[in-house]
Structure 1
Amino acid sequence: MPRVKVSVIVPVYNTGKYVDECAPSLLGQSLPADEYEVIYVDDGSTDDTLKRLEKLTAGHPNVQVHTQPNSGWPGAPRNLGMKHAKGEYVQFVDHDDMLGTEALERLYEHATRTRADVVLGKMSSTMVRPRRLFRQTLDACTIENDELMQSMSPHKMFRRAFVEEHGLRFPEGPWIMEDLAFVSAAYLKAERISVLADYPCYYWMKRDDGGNNTRHRFNPRHGFWPNLRTVIGQIKDGTTPSDDIDALQNRLLHRLYHVEVLSRTREPEILREDPAEQRQRFATARQVALEEFPAAVRRGLPAVSGLRAELLERGDFDGAFAFAEHVREVKASSELGAPRWQDGCLVADITLGLLRGDGEPLVLTERDGKWWLDPELLTGVPGTEDGWEVRDPFRMAYAELIVKDRDRQDWWYPEGDLEVRLQPIGEGRSQLLASGRLRLDPQRLAGGRPLERGVYDVWAFVNVLGIDRMVRVTGHGTPNGPATGPALTGGRLALPYWTTGVGQLALDVDQRLRGFGPDTAGAAAANATRGKQSLPLPYVAAESGVPAPVKVTVSALTVTAELVPAADGSTARLRLPGRLKLPAGRHPVTLPKADTPVAYAVVRDGTLLRLEGPAYEADTGRRILDAVADNRQVRRVRRRLGR
């Protein structure tokens, strides 16, 4: 009997229909059903969840259901699932999320090949921005790679023997941040951690009823602050203290300080919550900051975060509130050069920056040989009358381009890096900019594989001075118009365009929403070489490869034509079938959704004689030959002469 490779553990409580929505992704895995098991643990549901689970077990031998009295949190059900697990690896899944079809097979192969204790599979989400941790697949790393702290959810694959050897368990009961406690302990103990970034493994989905598995993420009444102290202590116990801001312990604690503590001091939370409650949160956060975090953690923060920490630890709620109001208005901007096709890739130069609420660049000012934060951000912030020094403008600064698959919610990273630099703009002021080259390869973007049929939106993420923003990449083109001409890549059409409204750069692969026509009908096709049954379309960039089918209309007849790439990629040729059920004559050829012909098909006796460009004007001799083309004797002579 095949061994169990993976045990999938799913805690459930009053899940209802979401059990049925998640189940197909678990039961339809490419890994053979006898090589993995799905363990549902019902945490005392009071609705029909248990009945739904029992129906699943009836038709699937690899599904088992266990029940327990309500514990109030996922920790205890996950622990019970681990007790029953037989797999070499365990994979945790929440009841309202989904797995990619090949997730278990790929994760298990990656885990066994790399001998990893923990494997992080690429996550796609409708709730949070993409994580740069998943830019590339890693065969081996350790907690020294502090980017692991970007992913602290338990939705990972863990080697079961490793979990048992170190006695790793989730805290039980209504214990907020049980995931941080378990995952940080695993990171600290693991000898080898790997990342699978070239396939979307886990879909962390927002529920249509507004709920999700993080709805109680911050609740002081459920022990948020004591639990945070526990996780901090766990990291301190597993690392060595140091005054160096880049020491491992300080880098790991930075994530907890920035996400769990400074969130109480910054927008949107400090601006939207009830002031009385938020003041209490602020006071408690201050106490934790002063008692639990070494000074080196605060010194290592970028400028804006450092000022937040200063205001927090000073106990200046009003100052933090005023500062948050200014920072809230900061927006990211993108400046994109004209997109073009080059070597089968869509390329364009891009520059990213930050703008203040008044639309002016966010600047640093130079004074006495030092850099100072933009004074417009400091209005009404006590203690900053003389400015706020920016000791290292590039501290933790980076920017990246991201492409979102609109249909599947997957995020992919184009090739190339963006460089952050200081750009002088006069009068002792400089702006932090990120610049580089967008290079989008439809044949490799999806983890080294071709993009699937769909629409792909181009975004950018910029993080400078401790301010991070996502921004749609826009250009100077007309919204809903072409960004550049179409391309033939891998035998499929790729149509770059600016979206309706904001004019975001998008790429339609294989005519998902946009037909091949509106972007090309106005271009003048080259004239046909006499006697040829194909026509070059110079406004279609192409790479050498297989032809792409495309529907065209010849007069009132719809037929499947082909776009055939030229060897040098300079053009693609439009090729029609040799036989057309049309009367003799010259028939306009139009592309989908287009009114203007891109060619004319000359037909005689149901046979395509040639394609002509729209600008073609036949000479008198050609018109006479066409007129007598039905004469059999003339046709025989033509055949002999080879026309």
Structure 2
Amino acid sequence: MDPVVTVIVPVHNTLRYLERCFGSVEAQTIGRRKLEVIAVNDGSSDGSGDWLDAWARERDNVQVIHQEPSGGAGKPRNVGIERARGTYLFFLDSDDYLGTDALRRMVAMADGEESDIVYGRIVGVGRDAPVDFRTTSAEVDLYDSPVYWTLAPYKLWRRALIEEHGLRFAEGRLLNEDVAFAVPAVLRAKKISVVADHDCYYLEGRGDGTNASRQDVDWVDQLAFVGEILRGLGELVPAGRERDKLMERHFHGEILSMFGEPYLARDEAGRRDMAAAAKVLLDEWTTEPIMAALPPRLRLRVHCLRHGLVDELTGIVRADTGRTLGPAHQDGERVYAAYPYFRDAERAIPDSAYDITSRVRLVQRVDSYAWDGPVLRVEGSARLSELDPAGRGVGVLLRRQGYTYWVPAETADDGTYTLRLDIGRAADGEPLPEGIWTMRIVVTSGELSKEAWLARPSDRLYDVSPEPRVIDRGEAGPCAAGLFHSAAHQHLNLDIGDTRRLLATSARGTVTRTRLGRVEATARVTVPGWPAERGEARLLLVSDRKTLTAPTTTEVDDNGRVAARATADGVAPGTWELQLRLVAGSFSRDVPVIESSGEPLRLTVPVPLVRQVRRKAARVVRGR
């Protein structure tokens, strides 16, 4: 039987990684019988070839090919393609390794969805993963998903796609040999899928600096090679929005990435040669949408390269790689990155190259919140990214059904703030009306303003809200007030007037009946903020037919603990439940009094003996 998957592994001087790499292939849950492993030893001198031969001798599904060093992973992979028999190909670098269930899951996706390419979740080990896939998808759109941002070969490829279009890796190159293969492959694929619910591929960052991506190259020649890739892309994708989105990725990854430390490492002549080579590509492919999508650090590079500003480019790259930038410049509603030569009349670099207004974000954190009488105190930090927090303004917008009220906060130069929201004055000096109020934090700097939902508190406060309480709003009278987090996004909301699920849900107490028939009842409940002078508490006896209100005396302490006591004579026979009625302004609640077991507190009053005798006599008379 032909194998389902051919795993192709180029090997060059990676002896210390081979056991982990090939061990991860052998451990695949898809099973050895469905796997073919082709290891191509590309002129290793560290004993890797001998290790591979020993490994293959004990396994009938492993073949080893030895060849002279070719100068990159491209030729070994191509040799593997020529020998492969599997329905699918998977390219595994010899210093990386697979998750145990990776190939089974990826093949199941490809078989079930008839996918030409399946991306698996990538995990960086000592380096960042190029893309963090979070959602498993049967089919993704190349132009509206992040899949094009990782063109490395470690994916599952349908071999028929590769052979139909004669796709091969560029040979003799340390960089982008895989991009030359992947670009036409992903553009010709009928369906691309993603497996994100399993860690499929572990990408190793070598601590010794020997990853191919960290080696020195002829950057002028490399730019010419990139130009060939881009021309191939241009032939397959017409000019317009879709091509621009793909080109943006190549501006980041293949053209402008070398204008950092590699550029600074060259002498002046070398820098000018690199700049001239890049100008050819940028003049051909740059569009306004691409420029707008690039961050200013890259936008400035493009401008300098296209206009021959090599010295200025060097200054900008030095400032960028040296992390010497200060706070951004602000002019009205616009914000500009603090790179050199901003508004330098001699250079005339346009403001648009520095503009980062669209990238300014509201960064916030809630550290604590608590009631101080009728005042909700919220403490945290809030600032606008890229800008100095000193001098900013912070406040909260309260919104409900067309009503909006603004409550400013006190701020400090270190980015922290304290919000004091007085329920009795929050509505432009008047009491806040009852209802559910959303809370939006607003940060301003000059004419620039950003707003967002008030953040979920930090992890230590997650799902911990201040106790709801009764708020005295002066002439408007007392009402209930509480906070809650929305179920979907944990946004903070303010509930004025209705906290039935949260405030005074039950009371504890006792109820007894003396030998003379007097009922004595007590109840205790804590209602934070309970107004001793403006609140009323009464004990109730409730049956299925009627409710009795007993004269009640109450005591209230400073912590809102309400103790009620009542007596009642002449309570009619039957079963009664004890309740505590609390009324304070618009707040009204009949609170069940419960036993320690949590059951409602009940009192059974028997029928008097004399009445029982009379009833029995009446039955006898009727019987005669």
Structure 1 spans left out of the alignment, 5+ residues: 331-355, 402-418, 440-474, 476-482, 488-643
Match of 2:237 among 239, 242, 259: 239
Cα distance change on mapping 1:59 and 1:397 into 2, 3 Å: farther
Over residues 64-83 of structure 1, what are the superposed CA-to-partner deviations in whole Å (9 max), with x where a residue is unaligned? 11223332221121111112
Equivalent residue of 2:138, what SS?
strand
In 2: Cα distance, 1:72 partner to 1:119 partner: 28
In 1: Cα distance, 2:362 partner to 2:61 partner: 45
Give the Å deviation of 1:44: 3.2
Give the Å deviation of 1:438: 7.0
Give the Å deviation of 1:298: 3.3
**Quick check: 1:96–1:213 contact (8 Å CA) kept in 2?**
no
* Matching of residue 262 in structure 1 with residue 256 in structure 2: yes
In 2: Cα distance, 1:377 partner to 1:436 partner: 36
Cα distance change on mapping 1:151 and 1:4 into 2, 3 Å: same
Letter in 2 for 1:169: R
Equivalent residue of 1:10, what SS?
strand
* Matching of residue 365 in structure 1 with residue 353 in structure 2: no
Which structure 2 residues correspond to residues 464-483 of structure 1 after superposition, within 5 A? Answer: none
Which residue in the other structure is 1:313 paired with? 306
Give the Å deviation of 1:25: 1.2
**Quick check: 1:79–1:170 contact (8 Å CA) kept in 2?**
yes
Over residues 118-165 of structure 1, what are the superposed CA-to-partner deviations in whole Å (9 max), with x where a residue is unaligned? 111111113543445513222102422352221011111101112112
Which structure 2 residues correspond to residues 328-347 of structure 1 after superposition, within 5 A? Answer: 328=321
In 2: Cα distance, 1:139 partner to 1:40 partner: 31
**Quick check: 1:131–1:150 contact (8 Å CA) kept in 2?**
yes
Give the Å deviation of 1:229: 0.8
In 1: Cα distance, 2:301 partner to 2:162 partner: 38
**Quick check: 1:264–1:285 contact (8 Å CA) kept in 2?**
no
Letter in 1 for 2:115: A
In 2: Cα distance, 1:305 partner to 1:207 partner: 27
Letter in 1 for 2:182: V
Equivalent residue of 1:210, what SS?
coil
Give the Å deviation of 1:33: 1.0
Give the Å deviation of 1:22: 1.7
**Quick check: 1:363–1:429 contact (8 Å CA) kept in 2?**
no
Match of 2:283 among 286, 290, 299: 290
In 2: Cα distance, 1:433 partner to 1:127 partner: 37
Equivalent residue of 1:139, what SS?
coil
TM (norm. structure 1) is: 0.54
In 2: Cα distance, 1:75 partner to 1:148 partner: 21
**Quick check: 2:362–2:451 contact (8 Å CA) kept in 1?**
no
Cα distance change on mapping 1:431 and 1:91 into 2, 3 Å: farther
Which residue in the other structure is 1:154 paired with? 153
Over residues 239-265 of structure 1, what are the superposed CA-to-partner deviations in whole Å (9 max), with x where a residue is unaligned? 0113xxxx1111111111233222344
Give the Å deviation of 1:190: 0.5
**Quick check: 2:29–2:104 contact (8 Å CA) kept in 1?**
yes
Letter in 2 for 1:67: H
Structure 2 spans left out of the alignment, 5+ residues: 365-382, 394-443, 464-624
Which residue in the other structure is 1:170 paired with? 169
Which residue in the other structure is 1:129 paired with? 128
Over residues 430-466 of structure 1, what are the superposed CA-to-partner deviations in whole Å (9 max), with x where a residue is unaligned? 4879988579xxxxxxxxxxxxxxxxxxxxxxxxxxx
**Quick check: 1:420–1:435 contact (8 Å CA) kept in 2?**
no
Which residue in the other structure is 2:315 paired with? 322
Give the Å deviation of 1:187: 0.9
**Quick check: 2:336–2:357 contact (8 Å CA) kept in 1?**
no
Letter in 2 for 1:228: V
Which residue in the other structure is 1:484 paired with? 460
In 1: Cα distance, 2:238 partner to 2:292 partner: 18
Count of aligned pairs between the two proteins: 392
**Quick check: 2:226–2:255 contact (8 Å CA) kept in 1?**
no
Which residue in the other structure is 1:556 paired with? none
Cα distance change on mapping 1:174 and 1:384 into 2, 3 Å: closer
**Quick check: 1:29–1:101 contact (8 Å CA) kept in 2?**
yes
Equivalent residue of 1:254, what SS?
helix
Give the Å deviation of 1:324: 3.3
Which residue in the other structure is 1:248 paired with? 242
**Quick check: 1:363–1:431 contact (8 Å CA) kept in 2?**
no
Which structure 2 residues correspond to residues 349-428 of structure 1 after superposition, within 5 A? Answer: 357-358=325-326, 361-366=327-332, 371-374=334-337, 378=341, 388-389=351-352, 428=446
Cα distance change on mapping 1:37 and 1:393 into 2, 3 Å: same
**Quick check: 2:121–2:197 contact (8 Å CA) kept in 1?**
yes
Which residue in the other structure is 2:181 paired with? 182
Which structure 2 residues correspond to residues 485-634 of structure 1 after superposition, within 5 A? Answer: none
Cα distance change on mapping 1:274 and 1:252 into 2, 3 Å: same
Give the Å deviation of 1:174: 3.5
In 1: Cα distance, 2:51 partner to 2:125 partner: 26
Give the Å deviation of 1:396: 7.7
In 1: Cα distance, 2:217 partner to 2:449 partner: 36
In 2: Cα distance, 1:183 partner to 1:12 partner: 20
**Quick check: 1:253–1:297 contact (8 Å CA) kept in 2?**
yes
In 2: Cα distance, 1:300 partner to 1:260 partner: 16
Equivalent residue of 2:133, what SS?
helix
Equivalent residue of 1:61, what SS?
coil
Equivalent residue of 2:196, what SS?
strand
Cα distance change on mapping 1:376 and 1:396 into 2, 3 Å: closer
Cα distance change on mapping 1:193 and 1:295 into 2, 3 Å: same
In 1: Cα distance, 2:39 partner to 2:340 partner: 51
In 1: Cα distance, 2:139 partner to 2:153 partner: 19
* Matching of residue 119 in structure 1 with residue 95 in structure 2: no
Equivalent residue of 1:277, what SS?
helix
In 2: Cα distance, 1:224 partner to 1:206 partner: 23
Which residue in the other structure is 2:39 paired with? 40
In 1: Cα distance, 2:159 partner to 2:297 partner: 42
Cα distance change on mapping 1:79 and 1:394 into 2, 3 Å: farther
Equivalent residue of 1:207, what SS?
coil
Give the Å deviation of 1:290: 1.8
Equivalent residue of 1:257, what SS?
helix
Over residues 15-51 of structure 1, what are the superposed CA-to-partner deviations in whole Å (9 max), with x where a residue is unaligned? 3333233221121212211111211012233442221
Which residue in the other structure is 2:428 paired with? none
**Quick check: 1:264–1:281 contact (8 Å CA) kept in 2?**
no
Cα distance change on mapping 1:218 and 1:110 into 2, 3 Å: farther
Give the Å deviation of 1:300: 4.5
Cα distance change on mapping 1:129 and 1:386 into 2, 3 Å: same
In 1: Cα distance, 2:211 partner to 2:274 partner: 23
Larger Rg: 2
Letter in 2 for 1:288: L
Give the Å deviation of 1:270: 4.4
**Quick check: 2:122–2:199 contact (8 Å CA) kept in 1?**
yes
CA RMSD, Structure 1 to Structure 2 (Å): 3.8
Matched residues, percent identical?
Answer: 29
**Quick check: 2:151–2:178 contact (8 Å CA) kept in 1?**
yes
Cα distance change on mapping 1:10 and 1:432 into 2, 3 Å: farther
Match of 1:278 among 261, 271, 274: 271
In 2: Cα distance, 1:382 partner to 1:264 partner: 28
Cα distance change on mapping 1:432 and 1:204 into 2, 3 Å: farther
Which residue in the other structure is 1:451 paired with? none
Equivalent residue of 2:139, what SS?
strand
Equivalent residue of 1:91, what SS?
strand
Give the Å deviation of 1:327: 4.1
Letter in 2 for 1:15: T
Deviates more, 1:268-277 or 1:145-154: 268-277
In 1: Cα distance, 2:292 partner to 2:178 partner: 28
TM (norm. structure 2) is: 0.55
Letter in 1 for 2:352: E
